[in-house]
Amino acid sequence: MGGRRSTGSWSPGASAGAHLAALLALDEQTKAAGAVVFYGVYDFLNRHRTRPDWPLIPRKVMHATPEQRPDLYRLASPLDQIRPGAPPFMVVHGDHDSLVPPAESRIFVAALREAGIPVRYLEVRGAQHAFDVFPTPRARAAWGAAIGFCLDVAEGELPAGGC
């Protein structure tokens, strides 16, 4: 499988950017080569109660409650946009994240794997939300893993169903 170079775009992001990058990568029309997402929210409906319900989302982002517009919340949830043929993902989350607990990423990763999407999951021990803002050893290791993932995707080195 090696030697195949990807010419598609990449979808990187952290926190709210991870949410948007995941949506972009899962959109069939974007033809993303892959996505690297750090500590994002992937289920706006919060079906698994992985985090508190933040009033910011219905008031400032969605302009409706989940009960009023569950259809919009599903459209805004990467978890609901997973489809066969989506590009490979690398999902990174700190195991001490108190803003977006790592269960959010674990559920997303399980759903990607269930759909047969190649995915790497890195849960960074001792890392809090936005741990990669400063060039600490944890951040450097996570970004090194992300770069390795991107190189593997570019070379066609990811197995079809998960990694």
Q: Determine whether 15 is an active site residue.
A: yes
Would you tell me how many other CB atoms lie within 10 Å of the CB of residue 103? 14
Active-site choice (6, 15, 27, 96): 15
Print the SS3 string covering 29-87. Answer: CCCCCEEEEECCCCCCCCCCCCCCCCCHHHHHHHCCCCCCCHHHHHHCCHHHHCCCCCC
CB of 89 closer than 8 Å to CB of 19: no
CB of 43 closer than 8 Å to CB of 57: no
Q: Determine whether 11 is an active site residue.
A: no
- Token pair, residue 26, equals 């899962």
Q: Determine whether 97 is an active site residue.
A: yes
Q: How far apart are CA 18 and CA 114, in angstroms?
A: 20
Active-site choice (11, 80, 105, 129): 129
Active-site choice (43, 80, 97, 132): 97
Residues taking part in catalysis:
15, 97, 129
